[in-house]
A and B are shown apart, each in its own frame.
Chain A
Amino acid sequence: MPADEAGAPGPEGVDQTNDDLARVSAERDDYLDQLQRARADFDNYRKRVERESPMLAVAGVRDLVGELLPVLDNLERALEALVATDDEGAHGIVAGVDMVRQQLGALLVGRGVQEIPAHGEAFDPTVHEAVQSVPSPDHPEGTVVAVVERGYRMSDAVIRPARVVVSQGGGTR
């Protein structure tokens, strides 16, 4: 019999020790669980940050491009208005403004911005936004018949969907 242990624990002492052991074991499990959760959270967070950091750099450019697009739209509106005039003297201005538009367009292309093809294409809501649906005997149903506002993408991300008018197909039927 190991009765010579310090303090000579009776049965209560053993119970006490067992209780302590159970409590400490539970605590240990709890702490291990928390540690594992924290580690896992952190690990997943780290992976996500790694995944996101190149995307964040692109997102900054994308935001700026998105804000520049209305300026490009307005340049195009200016050109349309100029072309519509009969004024002889406007020709030189048309050519000049068109050069400005091309300059801005080239800058955007250089940044990887592409216009989303729309006119005559099959309507695709992942890149087009329908603003109107019209009967059109000349076009099959679901064809883009007019572009109200050009759409642009950068790599795979749509910066702005093209605003389009979509054909309902065969006229009055």
Chain B
Amino acid sequence: MGKTIGIDLGTTNSAMAVLTGGEPEVIPNAEGGRTTPSVVAFTPQGERLVGAVARRQAVTNPQNTVFSVKRFMGRDTNEVSEEQTIVPYEVVPGPSGDVRVKAGDKEWSPQEISAMILQKIKQDAEAFLGDEVDGAVITVPAYFNDAQRQATKDAGTIAGLDVKRIINEPTAAALAYGLDKENEQTILVFDLGGGTFDVSILEIGDGVFQVKSTNGDNHLGGDNFDKAVVDWMVAEFKASQGIDLSQDAMALQRLYEAAEKAKIELSTTTSAQINLPFITADASGPKHLDLSLTRAKFEELTHALLTRLEGPTKQALEDAGVTGADIDHVVLVGGMTRMPAVQERVTEVTGKDPHKGVNPDEVVAVGAAIQAGVLAGDVKDVLLLDVTPLSLGIETKGGVFTRLIERNTTIPTKKSEVFSTAEDNQSQVEIHVLQGEREMASFNRTLGRFNLTGIPAAPSGTPQIEVTFDIDANGIVHVSAKDRGTGNEQKIEIKSSSGLSDDEVKRMVDEAESHADDDKRLRALADARNQSEARVNEAERQLKDHGDKVDEALKTELESAIEEARASQSGEDATSIEAATEKVTQALHKVSEQVYQRAAAEQQGAGDAGEETVEDADYEVIDEDEPAQKA
């Protein structure tokens, strides 16, 4: 059985998404785009092109390049007299008066053209998913009638897709935000795309959506906003340079690109720089366009367009018999709704802040994918996978909290790490199990503690103690510690790890954030002390073993470095501890060098020299060892 995907079959662009492991994901097309132009072209060579490729050749082949075919889906020729005149390709009546498109020396039904778009979508999705795609949920505008819906379904069938359901675009958008789980809610879906504007009022009850009203403007969208900016740039340039750029096709192209870029920038910044060097030239030399567009100016330029949003919105509310105050949720669709002034208009009418988080260009496809998942049974019975709300770990040397499982890890999960002893001949370690986000153990929440005993006498850092955290699907944490040398094992089961309320979890996370700097300092201090102690221990061992083999001066140097390092450890400054540790390291290097040289000179045997090298390597390992377990 193949996959079922969600498809937003748009007038200008289409998008697709799929549910993977219960999460919706937008599928990019073969060219890497997250949307695919809804354009089909028939070349003189008899080739069929779909998507961006078809759009790029449109001006060379206008009669055989079909776009906006959605406007003809399920319509009769007598219903589309206006649309017919806008498109450059030929629209003819079919046998029953339905619309046919003449392109590539053939007559096609709009269903067939749409099927070609759907076929590309299907193929690209299969290539991306590495799996067969045989089912689809396709979205249509809420105002589509039965014939238009049937035509859309037929297009899917022609493309080899089992159309599981046709759903309304605003419903899909609401599904993307999980609003079907609410009861008795009124939702306003505000869809401002590239070229069309739609407002829908939905009501949800018992998981069923009902469209109460729709309204809009078929010729209002992002393109109008771009044009407003371009007109302004042309006027500004004319005023300052006396040259009319609107007559220069090449310059206009650059202006449109710059306008769109500035428009997008102004959604997040309050001012955008428009920089187009060498935009044109006259007798006096090259001319540059260099303008700054503020958000306020942009809103002023588009004021008339913004005002045009209000009428349909108010009408939709009126038709649904509700007022702005009755709206429980506002959902935004279409890239143009990223403009703050657009959002403000919606908020003014409804008094509600819109839902955010899902990309407005993709929200319809995402909702369709969720519906597809429900119909394929992926959602209905999906095991709810939980996550650990807080990190879990143990306390290690110096009071440091060492995480084994990071927060937000999906459970069930298991993780092991090997630790060691902090002191020579340490016979037991305490495993202090903690939960929280702070760097130091003492600030986190204790879940339990136990001892692993019977560790055979060995130098610090030698025993290998494997600590394993295992959280089962019910959130119960099993912690075990095992001495790899003896096979001795101790464990504990913690049931209360999830006994925290959401507020408590939030408080702990917030606290960690607000204390991040302090914690970092404490952690650095603990790390520096640990490092220093390990180095001092090593130095003392060297002195004991080889102290008689080095110059007195060198020995004194190392001894005083050790003294200094010890003294620094009680201080509170990580940097000075590190500096003192470094002195010990330097002195140690000199000692090792001399020991090695003398041994080599005395015995001239490679064997002994080799032995010393091994010891040196050993010392390096200790240097980088895991933080040792606290006694």
Hey, which bits of chain A sit against chain B, CB under 8 A?
Answer: 30, 34, 37-38, 41-42, 44-45, 47-48, 51, 59, 74, 77-78, 80-81, 84-85, 123, 125-126, 128-133, 141-142, 148, 157-158, 161, 163, 166, 168
Contact = CB atoms under 8 A, between A and B. Distances in A.
A38 B249 contact: no
B277 interface: yes
The 10 closest A-B CB pairs, nearest first, are: A77-B278, A125-B57, A129-B56, A81-B286, A125-B56, A130-B60, A130-B59, A125-B53, A133-B60, A166-B60
A103 to B, nearest CB: 19
B20 interface: yes
Interface string B49-63: 100011011111000
A85 B285 contact: yes
Contacts of B58: 130
A133 B21 contact: no
A132 B20 contact: no
B44 A142 contact: yes
B500 interface: no
A30 B381 contact: yes
Interface in B312-336: none
Contacts of B54: 125
What DSSP secondary structure best describes chain B's contact surface? mixed
Contacts of B49: 125
Interface in B197-252: 249-250
A141 B21 CA distance: 51
B44 A148 contact: no
B304 interface: no
A129 B382 CA distance: 46
A128 B57 CA distance: 8
Nearest to A132: B59
B457 interface: no
Given A85-B285, A132-B249, A166-B59, 14 more contacts: A38-B21, A41-B21, A44-B131, A81-B285, A81-B286, A125-B49, A130-B59, A131-B249, A131-B253, A133-B60, A142-B60, A148-B250, A148-B253, A168-B60
Interface in B51-85: 53-54, 56-60
B249 A34 contact: no
B151 to A, nearest CB: 28
A37 B377 CA distance: 11
A6 B26 CA distance: 58
A3 B130 CA distance: 57
B128 A48 contact: yes
Nearest to B43: A125
B516 interface: no
B299 interface: no
19 contacts: A34-B383, A41-B20, A41-B21, A44-B130, A45-B20, A45-B21, A47-B130, A48-B128, A51-B130, A80-B278, A81-B285, A128-B56, A130-B58, A131-B250, A131-B253, A142-B60, A163-B253, A166-B59, A166-B60
A45 B18 CA distance: 12
Contacts of A141: 44
Interface in B332-346: none
A34 to B, nearest CB: 6
B378 interface: yes
A157 B28 CA distance: 14
B57 A157 contact: no
B606 interface: no
Interface string B253-288: 100000000000000000000000110010001100
B56 A161 contact: yes
Interface in B87-104: none
B476 to A, nearest CB: 20
B129 interface: yes
A132 B253 CA distance: 12
A144 B382 CA distance: 55
A131 B21 contact: no
Contact of A78 (B60, B278, B383): B278
A168 B60 CA distance: 8
A166 B61 CA distance: 11
B132 to A, nearest CB: 11
A155 to B, nearest CB: 12
Contacts of A41: 20-21
Contact of A48 (B56, B130, B286, B381): B130
